[in-house]
Structure 1
């Protein structure tokens, strides 16, 4: 059957109505190619490498939890940090107790060289007062270092009416194995019951013990020996 011009025009109109390719304006139905501006506007772009998810930092700082792995260990204070915590008044860390004061703890203070000089002063003060037992006890080992009994010691001053001692400065303290020694120079003026006067000069050596467990008596200065010579006018 032959197609008349009228039928051909009708077929073309129907095909254009259903947007068949090749009919009408091509710009209205053109397919967008990848990378065009229209696609860029419609679809979101992925984040660049190294970005973050859920709003968390991709490089956590101190105290933050990384995206993978365990939380970082707690910060440990360095010794320098502890210095900042010291109490400026006590020099101690919070909660620390100060070391006990030896005097407040009931511990005896360590004798000094001047304490040794005082022992010799007490010794002659006791003799001058007739307190021979007191003077005898100032020798080491309970008086036995005098190499006399208490009675022999007292009898040695039977004819002494008065005694005056002049004390010099102590010499340097010497240390031994758990022992301490010191010398005290003296000048003695002794007046007898008959009125005669005799003078002596020399040194007293004093001793004390410093070992652990020593008693207060053993730690105190006591007379160990004497080296006295009469001074002739």
Structure 2
């Protein structure tokens, strides 16, 4: 090629580059930064929180859980209240007595066997010479015996020993605020002269059940005795 051709080619190449630049075309190496910038402007930015770099709120949530430092101590369950332990069917605590009187704090009602125990204790007191105690086991503070305390004690002056054998009480008879029951008894009394006398019969015991009655009035007490000597 003639020497004059090389300058002509250089001039043409330079002119072509200027044309491309005027048309807005750029080298391929500049295309990638332009695409990343456009996408960054199109995408929404991350939501800003309260300053925590983890995306969690910097304020403690329920239970006062800290975001840093030592974890809180474990929660210790409180013992259940007694009311939660009540039997839903009976309304009572486990192991509590079923007697309604025990639940209300009132003394339990005397039973027929309690009446038998009164007569047994009555003769035990007589055998021990505790006549005042035996006298008090009669109703109305002993006055139901129809004797004074001294007359009552004198009636056992010649008694050396006494043994009582008691039977099963009869059915309790209700009255107007009163209760009565009979206890069969066989008595063997040994006198100071050595003689032995036997008696058989019943003791009638009484108690009061009206509102406002005292514990003493509600307890079984001897109301009367019907004893006859048994001849052999």
Which TM-score band applies after superposition, normalised by the shorter structure? 0.5 to 0.7
For 1:156-195, what aligned pairs fall within 5 Å after superposition? 156-195=155-194
Q: Which has the higher helix share?
A: 2
List, as ranges, runs of 4+ consecutive aligned residues in structure 1 with deviation greater than 2 Å.
96-106
Q: Equivalent residue of 1:103, what SS?
A: helix
After superposition, the CA RMSD in angstroms is: 2.4
Could you tell me which residue of structure 2 aligns to residue 107 of structure 1? 106
For residues 86-124 of structure 1, the C-alpha deviation after alignment (integer angstroms, 9 at most, x for no partner) is: x896226xxx89899533543110000000000000000
Alpha-carbon distance between aligned partners in 2 of 1:89 and 1:153, rounded to the nearest angstrom:
53
Q: Equivalent residue of 2:132, what SS?
A: helix
Give the TM-score taking structure 1 as reference length: 0.58
Alpha-carbon distance between aligned partners in 1 of 2:203 and 2:146, rounded to the nearest angstrom:
15
1:90 aligns with 2:105: no
Alpha-carbon distance between aligned partners in 2 of 1:153 and 1:125, rounded to the nearest angstrom:
15
Structure 2 unmatched ranges of 5 or more:
1-83
Call closer, same or farther: CA 1:89–1:103 in 2, change over 3 Å.
Answer: closer
Give the TM-score taking structure 2 as reference length: 0.58
Q: Equivalent residue of 1:102, what SS?
A: helix
Call closer, same or farther: CA 1:100–1:200 in 2, change over 3 Å.
Answer: closer
Structure 1 unmatched ranges of 5 or more:
1-86
Q: Tell me how far 1:142 sits from its aligned partner.
A: 0.2
Q: Tell me how far 1:221 sits from its aligned partner.
A: 0.2
Q: How many residues in Structure 1 have an aligned counterpart in Structure 2? A: 145
Could you tell me which residue of structure 1 aligns to residue 222 of structure 2? 223
